[in-house]
Copies of this chain bind each other. A is one copy, B any other.
Amino acid sequence: MIETPSLVDQYCHGVLRTELGLGTFEAHLARTEGPPAPGTTFFDTQTGFAVRRWCPPLLGLEPHCPPARYLARRRELGVLETGRRLLRGSGITTYLVDTGPPGDLTGPGEMASAGEADAHEIVRLELLAEQVADTSGTAESFLANLAESVHGAAAHAVAFASVAGVRHGLALAPEPPGPGEVRGAAGRWLADRSVGGALTDPVLLRHLLWIAVASGRPLQLHAGAGESGPDTERTDPALLTGFARATAGLGTDLVLLHGYPYHRHAAQLAGAFPHVYADVGAALVRTGARAAAVLSEIMEPAPFGKLLFSSGARGLPELHVVGARLFREALARLLGTWVAEGAWSLADAQRVAEMIAAGNARRVYGLD
């Protein structure tokens, strides 16, 4: 039996602090814009079924009990106690928490305490830049403050993350933009921008990513169709080949998040470039009963030292649970089958399991 006693969740978010009704809970089960179609529900998804499989027993209910029953029990326990029971039941021992997304989610400290685990911060680059813009007067001061701010964040963050960079910038041009180009873009953006305005300018995004590369902290890039919402046109990680080539040998690692449905392409890139890594977790939360199959595809082209577990969870501690349970069960089943077939040795399987579950992340992020 393949075991993974340590589990480093290399990319997740915090959880909501408020009590949830059925509709709000349901909305967090899908990565979509807009409500479910008439006559359908997001509970009828692989994610929904996986939540109903794994979470009710942690709250003292039967697996697959009806959503309304589950939500009632959740309110009965209260959001804090629910969070504690779920996070502690997930088996995750370290959380790397993206503090970027808007909304009142718990931070790394609260995650650590609720989950009885370690936790570290991932800094979202776009948000950092928007905060700097809110307090900078001119393009010159914005650019100076931005560099300083990224540099400062690198001292405490375990990694940087970028969501918009892939879609709006890197897929179009991998090289760092020139200083004049950057100043022009900064001037135009600041002039048009009201406080809190989002950064989608391709030149500034590329500039921001290259500052992050210079910091030496691992850079997590959202690819695939996960976080990015419906913009699936420019989310194939194969589009990052140029950026991977441009950053090769600079000493900064790139971690491709959310590759599904292009997860094989992400794993392929992780196999082609020494400094590129691929996430195996977020795809599993979304594919549920298919987790072992999706994981097996990711494990085809990438060296096993280049794959990292994550839950990709956001908002609901149920998603941390589902991410961890699906991963562990899928990995144990898959590697167990390969051992039974004689394709792998048991010692290799156990060793690879521990690498993907925790060891690779410890090495890449310098944990311990």
- Would you give the 0/1 interface string for A339-368, flagging 1 where the beta carbon is closer than 8 Å to chain B? 001111101100010010000000100000
Indicate whether A32 sits within 8 Å of B239 (C-beta atoms), given known contacts A300-B290, A343-B289.
no
- Would you give the 0/1 interface string for A293-304, flagging 1 where the beta carbon is closer than 8 Å to chain B? 110110111111
| Interface pair A34/B338, CB less than 8 Å apart | no
| Interface pair B290/A293, CB less than 8 Å apart | no
Q: Is the CB of A53 closer than 8 A to any CB of chain B? A: yes
A49 → chain B closest CB, angstroms: 6
Within the complex, which residue of B261, B290, B302, B304 is in contact with A296, where a contact is CB–CB below 8 Å?
A: B290
- Would you give the 0/1 interface string for A182-195, flagging 1 where the beta carbon is closer than 8 Å to chain B? 00000000000000
| Interface pair A63/B232, CB less than 8 Å apart | no
Alpha-carbon separation in the docked complex, A239 to B363 (Å): 39
| Interface pair A232/B301, CB less than 8 Å apart | no
Within the complex, which residue of B45, B233, B239, B303 is in contact with A303, where a contact is CB–CB below 8 Å?
A: B45
Contacts A49-B348, A261-B301, A289-B343 known; 13 new A-B pairs at CB < 8 A:
A32-B273, A39-B363, A225-B268, A225-B301, A230-B269, A231-B241, A232-B269, A233-B238, A233-B239, A233-B241, A286-B301, A289-B344, A290-B299
Alpha-carbon separation in the docked complex, A347 to B365 (Å): 44
Contacts of A103 in B (CB 8 A): none
| Interface pair B289/A37, CB less than 8 Å apart | no
Q: Which of A93-101, A158-166, A242-250 is near enough to bind chain B? A: A242-250
Alpha-carbon separation in the docked complex, A241 to B244 (Å): 26
Q: Is the CB of A271 closer than 8 A to any CB of chain B? A: yes
Indicate whether A32 sits within 8 Å of B272 (C-beta atoms), given known contacts A39-B305, A241-B233.
yes
Please give me the residue from chain B that is nearest to A224 by CB atom: B268
Q: Is the CB of A40 closer than 8 A to any CB of chain B? A: yes
Contacts of A44 in B (CB 8 A): 303-305, 348, 352, 355
| Interface pair A289/B233, CB less than 8 Å apart | no
28 contacts between A and B (CB under 8 A): A30-B303, A32-B273, A33-B272, A34-B248, A35-B274, A37-B275, A37-B303, A41-B303, A45-B302, A45-B303, A63-B342, A64-B347, A64-B348, A230-B272, A230-B273, A232-B238, A232-B241, A232-B268, A233-B239, A261-B265, A287-B300, A287-B301, A288-B300, A288-B343, A289-B341, A289-B343, A289-B344, A290-B296
Alpha-carbon separation in the docked complex, A264 to B262 (Å): 9
Within the complex, which residue of B34, B293, B306, B342 is in contact with A274, where a contact is CB–CB below 8 Å?
A: B34
